[in-house]
Amino acid sequence: MTCNMGNLDRLLRITLGFCILATGIALNDDRGCILIWVGLIPLLTGLMGSCPLYSIFSFNSKG
């Protein structure tokens, strides 16, 4: 996968992913489990630097 995300985009996704994960862990119930899975999406795309939806729509925030 090619890197199609800029540094600010990556930083925001990683921060958002950690916040959602922390909330999911703190809830410790069914809603928390869902939030953990949802939080993994922005975290992993931010760490990889590539977003599959950006590729589909030919969007690039890298600059």
* Mean pLDDT within 14-41: 97
pLDDT for residue 52: 93
The whole-angstrom separation of Cα 44 and Cα 16 is: 11
Is the separation of the CB atoms in 20 and 38 below 8 Å?
A: yes
Is the separation of the CB atoms in 43 and 21 below 8 Å?
A: yes
pLDDT at 2 over 90: no
* Mean pLDDT within 35-40: 97
The whole-angstrom separation of Cα 3 and Cα 61 is: 10
Distance of CA 3 to the CA centre of its chain: 14
pLDDT at 10 over 80: yes
Element (H, E) at 55: helix 52-56
